[in-house]
Amino acid sequence: MAKAGDSKNWTGGGVREFRTTHWSMVLLAGQSESLESAEALEKLCRTYWPPLYAYIRRRGYPEHEAQDLTQGFFARLLEKNYLSALELGKGRFRSFLIAALNNFLSNEWDRTQRIKRGGGCAFISFVDEEAEGILESELADPATAEKLFERRWAERVVEETLKKLELEFDTRLGRFEQLKVFLVEAKGTASYLEVATRLQMTEQAVKSAVHRMRQRYRELFRAEIASTVRSPDQIDEEMRHLFLALAG
């Protein structure tokens, strides 16, 4: 595991290269049977189902019905029923998913054949009570279902990026949690001196660690977005879009 003070472990050259992404592999699934593309689709679904659940809830469906609908949608999607038929939303997985979900909600859902929660698509783990409470408060937000979906999607990208960053970072003595505040909380929430005292580090060492953390965070964030678009020329535009969603 990389240490906060080891700059050799914070190189990010690989993420600057655009390799075949999860989403570009998924596109192959609409053309031919491919275990690789099926696995890529499942990984993306596993990561990004919460914004779709929030979207369904914002559309006015109660909790349990929204769970059934989310489960049924992903079961259909993983069977590739939609991959060869829908427009691909300019190559963005985010756009593809919301178009597919709207199609499902409008035309494809047979209420008499509802897939029960936990069946058919067992990888989906539904929100816990605390998360559902947060969502309930969001339902009173004047934002449209589409705006809530965009915000939730952007938040999910941030969550996944932080998870990957933590895996690379030195977590001894709670160091990652202490330094993470400089990434995710408002400026002024904590000072470098306060954190340095808690971690028994010098203030300059904390500043250096935070600088490296921010660099690596940006690289991982960009790589996470790259996995959901079709080509490298879409990455910067998608990043701008998600930053706006978070700001809204």
Each of the 248 residues of the chain gets a pLDDT tens digit; together they read: 333 333 333 333 334 444 456 777 677 666 566 777 777 777 878 888 888 888 998 888 888 888 888 888 888 887 766 666 655 556 788 988 898 899 888 876 655 355 545 444 555 555 655 556 666 666 666 678 898 899 989 999 999 999 999 988 866 667 898 999 998 877 767 899 999 999 999 999 999 999 999 999 999 999 999 988 888 888 999 999 999 999 87
Find out whether 56 and 69 touch, Cβ atoms under 8 Å.
Answer: yes
First to last CA, the chain: 36
Domain boundary assignment for the chain: 21-247
Q: Which residues contact 59 (CB under 8 A, 6 or more apart)?
A: 105, 145
